[in-house]
Amino acid sequence: MQPQSSSRLADVICTEILARLVRHRDRSTTDPDPLFVAIQGPQGSGKTTVVRAVQKSLSSPESGHGLSVAVLSLDDLYLPHTGLVNLANAHPTNLLLRGRGQPGTHDIDLGQAILEALLKINNTRISIDLPSFNKSLFNGEGDRGPTGSWLTVDPPVDIVILEGWCMGFYPLEDSELTKRYEEVISTPSNEDSLPNIRTIMESVSLDDMRTINMYLKDYPLRLYSFFSMFIQIKPGSDNPYSPIYKLRLEQEHHMKSMNGGEGMTDEQVKLFIDRYIPGYLFFAGGIERGSLMLDDAITSVDNPPWKGSLLRVTIDEDRRLSSVEKL
C-alpha cells in the first residue's frame, strides 16, 4: 500500500475511533474498560498496514492523543502446527482445512481468554502477553511462536483492535447454507470471470461448507460480543472477489522484489486465494446483518454487537480510499 493511501485511510479510521472513544468513556464514571474495535479486510487490502498506521497515530504523543492501543490479529490466534495438522487429518477430504486460514484453524479458547483479560486489564492492572504466529516454519505451514516472542501489553489500555479476514463473519442456518450452495453450483460457468466461483466450488462439497459453518459458530458466540465498533475495508468492484486476487498478487510481487524472489508463483497465489472465496461468498454478509441460529438449540443475537457503529471504507484497485459509509 502506498504511504499516502495508507495515511488517508488511517486518518479516516482514527477520526471515527476517537469519536467512538469519547462516547465510550462518557458511559463510565470509573476507570473505563478499553474500547474494542474489530477490523475486517480481505487478503491484499492492506489492512495490516492500515492497522499499524492507526496504532501509531493513536499512540503517538506527537499526534496529541498518546493512547495505549493493543493490537491483535486473528493470524496470531492460529492453532499450533500440531493442532493444524490434527484438524486437517480429522477432515481429510476438506480442502478448505488443508492449512491455516479458515474458521476452525484458530484457537478460540486462547482468543476468548485474551479478550476477557484485556476487558478487565484496567481494573486488574495485570499485564497480558499477546501470542505470535511464525508463518515461515514447517515449510510455510507455520507454528505458534514461543512465549518469549509474545508481546506484553501493560495497563492501562485505551483501545483494543482485533483484525482479520473473517472477522464479523456469521454462520448460516443449514437451510440457508444449502440453498446458497445449490445456487452457486448451478450458476452457469464463465471462464472469463475472475474468479470462476463455480470452478472453485467444484472441489468444495456441501458437507465441507457445513464443517466450516459449524466451526464458525464459536466466533460470534465467544469473540464478537466484546466489540462495540466495527470497521470493514472493502474493495470496490462489480465483481467483489476479483480485486482480492489482484491486490494479493501485487503484495506477493512486492515481497519477492524485496527478498530476492522468494515467494509464491502467480498460480500459487491464485490457489491460495481460492480457498478463501467460499468464506466471503457464504458468510461475509454477517458483518452487517448478524445471524440467528436455531438449528441445534444454539441461539445468537439477531444483530451484531456493533450494529449502528459499522464503518465501511471502500478502496479502489490502488488501495486508495474511494468512499465511506456509516451503517
Q: What is the pLDDT of residue 302?
A: 61
Determine phi and psi for 260, rounding to 5 degrees: 85, 15
Residue 212 has pLDDT above 80, yes or no: yes
Q: What is the pLDDT of residue 296?
A: 53
Residue 170 has pLDDT above 70, yes or no: yes
**What number is the average pLDDT over the span 81-101?**
96
Task: Report the alpha-carbon angle 310-307-313, nearest 5.
Answer: 10
Tell me the whole-structure pTM to 2 decimals: 0.90
- Scanning the structure block, which residue is given the C-alpha cell 443475537? 301
Return mean pLDDT, the chain. 88
Q: What is the pLDDT of residue 9?
A: 92
Residue 292 has pLDDT above 80, yes or no: no
Instruction: Determine the residue type at 163.
Output: E
CA 212 – CA 108 distance, rounded (Å): 14
Residue 203 has pLDDT above 70, yes or no: yes
**Domain architecture of the chain: domains with CATH:** 3-326 (3.40.50.300)
Residue 7 has pLDDT above 90, yes or no: no
Q: What is the pLDDT of residue 272?
A: 79
Residue 193: band (very low, low, confident or very high) from pLDDT cuts 50, 70, 90: low
Residue 188 has pLDDT above 80, yes or no: no
Q: What is the pLDDT of residue 300?
A: 53
Residue 91 has pLDDT above 80, yes or no: yes
**What number is the average pLDDT over the span 88-110?**
96
- Scanning the structure block, which residue is given the C-alpha cell 466471503? 280
Q: What is the pLDDT of residue 246?
A: 78
Q: What is the pLDDT of residue 114?
A: 99
Instruction: Determine the residue type at 313.
Output: V
DSSP string for 86-124: HHHHHSTT-GGGSSS-STTSB-HHHHHHHHHHHHHHHHH
33-42, 220-229, 245-254: least confident range: 245-254
CA 105 – CA 110 distance, rounded (Å): 12
Residue 101 has pLDDT above 80, yes or no: yes
Q: Are 75 and 165 in contact (CB under 8 A)?
A: no
- The partner residues of 71 in beta bridges, in order of sequence, read 161
Residue 189 has pLDDT above 80, yes or no: no
80: cis peptide before it, omega within 30°?
Answer: no
pLDDT one-digit tens code per residue, 142-152: 899 999 999 99
**What number is the average pLDDT over the span 121-130?**
97
DSSP 78: B
DSSP string for 245-282: HHHHHHHHHHHHHHHTS-S--HHHHHHHHHTTHHHHHH
Q: What is the pLDDT of residue 240?
A: 63
- CA separation (Å) from 290 to 98, 270, 311? 27, 29, 15
Q: What is the pLDDT of residue 39?
A: 98
39-43, 84-88, 105-109, 288-292: least confident range: 288-292
Alpha helices in 2-46 (DSSP H): 3-26
CA 199 – CA 185 distance, rounded (Å): 9
Residue 164: band (very low, low, confident or very high) from pLDDT cuts 50, 70, 90: very high
Q: What is the pLDDT of residue 287?
A: 95
Q: Are 299 and 292 in contact (CB under 8 A)?
A: yes
**What number is the average pLDDT over the span 184-206?**
75
